[in-house]
Structure 1
Amino acid sequence: MTKKNGFDIRREKKMKDIEEATLELLNKKDITNITMDEIAKRAAVSKVTLFNYYNTKDNLMNTTIHNSFASILEEYERLIESNLSFEQTYMELTQYKMKKIQSTTSIFFHNVMQQFANDPTFFDKDAQEKSDRLVLRMFQKGRKEGKINPAYSDEVLLMLMHIFTEGLKSQAIDSDNLMKYGPEITQMFLNGLR
């Protein structure tokens, strides 16, 4: 592996700052009202730097959203591949997911859907497939530990997880109650898999 030089390190830092500023704005404002000038100011870089690194506003938005989702998948993988038991893994994963959903605004989800509407290839099917593979590895861990009924197919377990995840995003669920009762809800879910 080659050692990074100072230029590469500074470039990566600037890109991280730019994407953090962009993500912050994507959680606060409609994507059509976010300007490159605003992002440059928040990230403390020039507008020229934005265009040098990302070429277009759309590319910056897409890169920021994709990298945000990629970091979530990395955390999922870290938890699933850890030495935690299935139940501990699932509890940690659920807590992480609830915190992520709680910290993500409905404006952000609207912006993601707006990007998808403008470019149907925006959603990375590979990312969804990777997420599903990770979830299945977690369920395989649960089967090995005798915590999941082997009669439940992978397809049904994935469908159940998708339903559960979508339910967590519901505006009808109070986020404070979700955090308060999350461990209890998770335990109920886990008990139902036996």
Structure 2
Amino acid sequence: MNGFEIRRENKINDILNAALKLFSMYGIKKVSIAEIAKSANVSQVSIYNFFESKENLARQAFFKIMDDIMIDMKALVESDLSFKEKINKMHFISTNSSNTFIEIFNQIDFIKDPLIQKFLDEYGENKTIPLLMQLIDQGKLEGDLDTDISPESILIYIHAVNKALQSNLDQKVRSDLGKLFFYGIFKTSK
């Protein structure tokens, strides 16, 4: 990457970080492009050149959060921790990120945006599900998950929980679904 590309990427990241900070403090609707530009120390024109609109900037900020969370999740799944330790940490990361999402993106019908829905569907299929299946394989190998449950059943379950989480649920229900998802598949005594 040359100097120009590095400066461009840094400017984009500064804008995204400023937008996320302001969105989380005041909500997407109440934050103006001028406020984001001032916070990121860039011109409003730069924001429009990179993102075209505040709505697209909000989408890109959402994508950035998802990517940041995925980096943490991938590092966790690929770590040397036991399955149970990974599940506990993953539940913690998931709960904290869910709270961030709710604070920022649940203030408008953002989650119903067709581009966000498409992104979530593709992200789940290409990144989240393969990572979860890797974790599930480890759980089965360590004897913590029921080996009789087929991968197809697990995928149907993951899809159902994912669709439920994409709707406007209150924080308690989201938390309960997270607990069911992370702990409801543990092997039971027979």
Which TM-score band (shorter chain)?
A: 0.7 to 0.9
Shift of 1:16: 1.0
Paired position in structure 2 for 1:122 = 116
Shift of 1:139: 0.4
Shift of 1:18: 0.5
> In the alignment, residue 127 of structure 1 is paired with which amino acid?
Y
Paired position in structure 1 for 2:136 = 139
Paired position in structure 2 for 1:53 = 50
Deviations 1:155-179, CA, capped at 9 Å, x for gaps: 443565564994xx74337x9xx9x
Map 1:1-194 → 2, pairs under 5 A: 4-111=1-108, 113-114=109-110, 116-117=112-113, 120-123=114-117, 124=119, 125-129=121-125, 130-158=127-155, 163=161, 166=165, 170-172=170-172, 189=183, 192-194=186-188
Q: Is 2:99–2:171's contact at 8 Å kept on the other side of the alignment?
A: no
Q: Is 1:27–1:105's contact at 8 Å kept on the other side of the alignment?
A: no
Change in CA separation of 1:107 and 1:49 when aligned onto 2, cut-off 3 Å = closer
Shift of 1:154: 2.8
Any stretches of 5+ residues in structure 2 without a counterpart?
none
> In the alignment, residue 122 of structure 1 is paired with which amino acid?
I
TM-score by length of 1: 0.75
Overall identity of the aligned pairs, in %: 27
TM-score by length of 2: 0.76
Instruction: Report the secondary structure of 2:73's partner residue.
Output: helix
Shift of 1:149: 1.0
* Paired positions, count: 178
Instruction: Report the secondary structure of 2:26's partner residue.
Output: coil
Change in CA separation of 1:85 and 1:190 when aligned onto 2, cut-off 3 Å = farther
Q: Partners in 2 of 1:189 and 1:116 — Cα distance?
A: 28
Instruction: Report the secondary structure of 1:31's partner residue.
Output: coil
Q: Partners in 1 of 2:50 and 2:161 — Cα distance?
A: 38
Change in CA separation of 1:84 and 1:71 when aligned onto 2, cut-off 3 Å = same
Q: Is 2:59–2:116's contact at 8 Å kept on the other side of the alignment?
A: yes
